[in-house]
């Protein structure tokens, strides 16, 4: 008759489970390292053909903002606002893309039962 219950012989984890745990721990360390690296990385975005230049860090902190004098028109503040928004959104997209690439590098597209990491 078959063994009853769902335990493993000796009460330990099977080899595959143990390997999976080690892999998860390694991935966690790599993720922590990448996160620290990303926080210090700088991303530069421009808009209006360079009229607005924005530099942010991977932690989304604005480090630098340059506005060309010709972009400042007191009679057309809306255009400057649009240029600023465009540069900010582009910089944020760059951070998100870099984060996604970093996670793909770490996980190698690991697929656990339909959950893709």
Kindly indicate whether the domain formed by 42-108 is annotated with CATH number 3.30.1310.10. Answer: yes
Q: Is residue 115 packed enough to be buried (19+ CB in 10 Å), middle (13-18) or exposed (0-12)?
A: exposed
Sign of the dihedral through C-alpha 33, 105, 110, 7: negative
pTM: 0.65
Give domain limits for the chain: 42-108
Question: What is the gyration radius of the CA atoms in the chain, in angstroms?
Answer: 24
Question: Phi first, then psi: what are they for 64, rounded to 5°?
Answer: -155, 140
Q: What per-residue confidence (pLDDT) applies to 45?
A: 96
Q: What per-residue confidence (pLDDT) applies to 105?
A: 76
Other beta carbons less than 10 A from residue 54's beta carbon: 24
With CA atoms as reference, report the closest residue to 106 among 38, 49, 45: 38
Which of the residues in the chain have pLDDT under 70? 1-14, 109-117
Q: Is-contact 112 105, C-beta < 8 A?
A: no
Q: What per-residue confidence (pLDDT) applies to 117?
A: 47
Q: What per-residue confidence (pLDDT) applies to 4?
A: 53
Q: What per-residue confidence (pLDDT) applies to 31?
A: 84
Q: What per-residue confidence (pLDDT) applies to 36?
A: 87
């Amino acid at each position: 008759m078959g063994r009853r219950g769902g335990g493993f012989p000796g009460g330990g984890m099977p080899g595959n489970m143990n390997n999976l745990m080690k892999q998860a721990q390694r991935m966690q360390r790599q993720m922590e390292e990448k996160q620290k690296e990303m926080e210090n990385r700088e991303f530069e975005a421009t808009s209006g053909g360079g009229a607005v230049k924005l530099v942010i860090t991977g932690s989304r902190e604005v480090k630098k903002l340059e506005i060309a004098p010709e972009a400042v028109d007191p009679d057309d503040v809306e255009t400057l606002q649009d240029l600023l928004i465009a540069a900010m959104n582009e910089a944020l997209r760059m951070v998100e893309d870099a984060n996604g690439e970093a996670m793909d590098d770490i996980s190698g597209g690991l697929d656990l039962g339909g959950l893709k990491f």
